[in-house]
Structure 1
Amino acid sequence: MLRSIQKMAETAAKRVKISPVSIGTHNGHFHADEALAVYMLRLLPTYQDSQLIRTRDPALLQTCHTVVDVGGEYDASVHRYDHHQRTFTTTFPNRPTKLSSAGLVYMHFGKAIIAQKLGIEEDAEEVSIIWEKIYQSFIEALDAHDNGISVYDPKAISAAGLEKRFSDGGFSLGAMVSRLNPNWNDAIPSDVVEAQKFEDDKFLVASARMGEEFSRDLEYYTNAWLPARDIVHKAYKKRLEYDPEGRILVFDGQSVPWKDHLYTLEDTEGTTSKVLYVLYPEKPAPDAKWRIQCVPVTMDSFESRKPLPEAWRGFRDEKLDEVSGIAGGVFVHAAGFIGGNKTFDGAISMAKKALV
């Protein structure tokens, strides 16, 4: 057995010598945070061809260029990114959640990853905007999950007498990664080096899966969400043309991801009269039908700030024309959060009438 362990250590040490840069993390049961941390590092030129060493041996970890999620040390100056120390309390700027190894790597390397994707300098405003947004939309939940932090205060939930209607424990990226770990009764190679390779191969699958989701998020925020920002800003400036209180927002060409940008604008300006309805054509064509969408109370809410009139809900076409008194009606959803008209004039008439 001792000889097998020595063989494994020698093999790992040889791997380190192959590449001047190696990433160390712990072996054994793996989690979403270090799986993503390794993937994010390997997006950058320095780590692109790095060796991965999964071990808890302090001597082997000492030989690694960068260590994540193991080692009991957080010191960016020597590339050590563990978060399991009793004294560790680091959070992302202006956020309350304690970081995991994914959050640590993202905090230190996220701007470089984003700047590389956009082809601009790290200190550009766009990089900071996306850096903060991806943390809040993707990384923070992973940090919380790994550190055992609930979305809501458990004591407050208990005091309110609230109970889950169903189990959602398996419906997360963390659960997906957990399922990729070897099962207790899997056939494991008897050779200790081969057994470690068996486990490492599964870790690499998990790292790729986490990275796939991260890369999709990065792609969305750089290629779709960020370009939409200017379009929403321009529409926001024109909103008084449609309503003296600025409660109607119109996109002339086509719809874009608008919710985040709208809420940010409203918070920044501190306006008391908030946008209630957003109008946009179904497609960028002169004969396109128009949609009227109610602004939700919050980003993830199903509750609208002001739903379309109850008397219109669930009706279509001529019947909708009849109950609304506006020609060209297409539909109004039964829940009242969205509707449609054949023309812009009809949609704006619906919005103005719904304001009353």
Structure 2
Amino acid sequence: MAETAAKRVKTSPVTIGTHNGHFHADEALAVYMLRLLPTYQNSELIRTRDPALLATCHTVVDVGGEYDASANRYDHHQRTFNTTFPNRPTKLSSAGLVYMHFGKAIIAQQLGVAEDAEEVKVIWEKIYENFIEPVDANDNGISAYDPKGIAAAGLEKRFRDSGFTLGAMVSRLNPNWNDPVPSDPVEAQKAEDEKFLVASTRMGEEFSRDLDYYTRSWLPARDIVHKAYAKRLEYDPKGRVLVFDGLSVPWKDHLYTLEEQSGGAAEVLYVLYPEKPTPDAKWRVQAVPVSKDSFESRKPLPEAWRGIRDEKLDELTGIPGGVFVHAAGFIGGNKTFEGAKAMALKALDL
């Protein structure tokens, strides 16, 4: 069996090399991810473009003009470089390269399982698509949407969003053009390196939050969503209502995956869940968005119910226990499960 990248690295002392000067989100994250692993935990960081110094480093990221995992070289700036993550279209940055080779070891360490465990692969792919790929795209100048397609459609932004991405956040942590610089080159590099470490830590905090979410929350929720999906025909003959008994979990990602795999089954339109895991909890009726990040619902709650509360809602729906329906129609509530179910079933026909 081929050795993993994590097993190839040598014992301490280990030195990580990357370039000095203006730093970016990809190498800031790459360094942080490596340092999550025991071999790199106490590693020394050298930021330089000197080939002789880089040659002394155990691992080099984002500089050096070489991608060779067997030699722990992870640069992506070569003219011939076109490597992508498995089944994804975006060219990798140094963050993507390090994650592709070391991500499974990081996830397995977090879960306390072997690298070849099925759940490791599932999370490895999910974190890439949801966190690492945008970093790769940003560093390689790849837009989320085709600029020519946007121009052809005549689409314009409704407001300025300040370009607040992880890449923009790291860019702002670089020294300003008019910041004072120590006259001693050694002290100047030390000051720049300290700012880089701030950026690396900041990127790492976001990565670790994602890692924690997918291993401790998202993964345990998967089984619960699968069980609820299997029972959906108990509430509606077409399976358009999903019910979570006892508690709500992060369900959107898992639901869309299940629907895609079901091949032609009716889409779920409403999800029912209690506000808290107690017998007297009120229940929510949430309309399923057309996509994970969309504000548009597949079937919003009826327009006539929107913005109505309490007794007035009861009178309008003919269902006792109404609490509210949001003015946008994406969510509503009832004091009981039976009331929430009745609201969802009635909304299906309106």
Q: 2:41 & 2:160 partners in 1: Cα distance?
A: 39
Which residue of structure 2 aligns with residue 13 of structure 1? none
2:98 pairs with 1:98: no
2:290 pairs with 1:297: yes
Give, as a single letter, the amino acid of the residue that structure 2 aligns with 1:316. R
Give the TM-score normalised by structure 2. 0.95
Which residue of structure 2 aligns with residue 6 of structure 1? none
2:126 pairs with 1:133: yes
Which residue of structure 2 aligns with residue 183 of structure 1? 176
Q: Which whole-Å deviations, capped at 9, do the CAs of 1:88-147 have from their partners, x for residues lacking one? A: 111111111111000000000000000000000000011011101111111111110000
SS of residue matched to 1:165: coil
Candidates 94, 100, 124, aligned match of 2:117? 124
Give the TM-score normalised by structure 1. 0.94
Q: 1:218 & 1:256 partners in 2: Cα distance?
A: 17
2:272 pairs with 1:279: yes
Candidates 240, 246, 252, aligned match of 2:245? 252
Which residue of structure 2 aligns with residue 86 of structure 1? 79
Q: Which whole-Å deviations, capped at 9, do the CAs of 1:308-352 have from their partners, x for residues lacking one? A: 111111100001011111111000011111000000010000011
Shift of 1:187: 1.2
Which residue of structure 2 aligns with residue 320 of structure 1? 313
Shift of 1:171: 1.0
Q: 1:181 & 1:314 partners in 2: Cα distance?
A: 47
Candidates 22, 27, 33, aligned match of 2:26? 33
Q: Which whole-Å deviations, capped at 9, do the CAs of 1:242-273 have from their partners, x for residues lacking one? A: 01111100000110000000001111111331
Q: Which whole-Å deviations, capped at 9, do the CAs of 1:41-87 have from their partners, x for residues lacking one? A: 00001101111010000010011000000000111010000011111
Instruction: Give the unaligned 5+ runs of structure 1.
Output: 1-18
2:67 pairs with 1:55: no
Which residue of structure 2 aligns with residue 165 of structure 1? 158
2:284 pairs with 1:306: no
Shift of 1:169: 4.1
Q: Which whole-Å deviations, capped at 9, do the CAs of 1:4-25 have from their partners, x for residues lacking one? A: xxxxxxxxxxxxxxx5210000
Q: 1:189 & 1:222 partners in 2: Cα distance?
A: 44
CA RMSD of aligned residues (A): 0.8
Which residue of structure 2 aligns with residue 261 of structure 1? 254
Instruction: Give the unaligned 5+ runs of structure 2.
Output: 1-11
Q: 1:20 & 1:347 partners in 2: Cα distance?
A: 61
Which residue of structure 2 aligns with residue 217 of structure 1? 210
CA contact (8 A) 1:170 1:176 kept: no
Shift of 1:168: 2.6
Q: 2:169 & 2:163 partners in 1: Cα distance?
A: 7
Give, as a single letter, the amino acid of the residue that structure 2 aligns with 1:322. E
Give, as a single letter, the amino acid of the residue that structure 2 aligns with 1:273. A
Shift of 1:165: 2.2
Shift of 1:170: 3.7
Give, as a single letter, the amino acid of the residue that structure 2 aligns with 1:35. A
CA contact (8 A) 1:330 1:340 kept: yes
SS of residue matched to 2:329: coil
SS of residue matched to 1:207: helix
2:78 pairs with 1:76: no
Candidates 335, 343, 350, aligned match of 2:343? 350
Which residue of structure 2 aligns with residue 14 of structure 1? none
Q: 1:167 & 1:28 partners in 2: Cα distance?
A: 29
Q: 1:304 & 1:170 partners in 2: Cα distance?
A: 26
Q: 2:84 & 2:107 partners in 1: Cα distance?
A: 20
Which residue of structure 1 aligns with residue 3 of structure 2? none
- The 4+ residue runs of structure 1 with deviation greater than 3 A are none
2:197 pairs with 1:197: no
Shift of 1:167: 2.6
SS of residue matched to 2:208: helix
Q: Which whole-Å deviations, capped at 9, do the CAs of 1:170-208 have from their partners, x for residues lacking one? A: 411111111111111111111111110000000000000
Candidates 314, 320, 324, aligned match of 1:331? 324
Give me the identity figure in percent. Answer: 83
SS of residue matched to 2:273: strand
Which residue of structure 1 aligns with residue 8 of structure 2? none
Give, as a single letter, the amino acid of the residue that structure 1 aligns with 2:291. T
Aligned length: 338
Which residue of structure 1 aligns with residue 230 of structure 2? 237
CA contact (8 A) 1:248 1:351 kept: yes
Q: 1:302 & 1:191 partners in 2: Cα distance?
A: 54
Candidates 145, 149, 155, aligned match of 1:152? 145
Which residue of structure 2 aligns with residue 174 of structure 1? 167
Q: 2:64 & 2:157 partners in 1: Cα distance?
A: 37
2:235 pairs with 1:270: no
Q: 1:279 & 1:247 partners in 2: Cα distance?
A: 11
CA contact (8 A) 1:169 1:175 kept: no
Q: 1:215 & 1:138 partners in 2: Cα distance?
A: 11
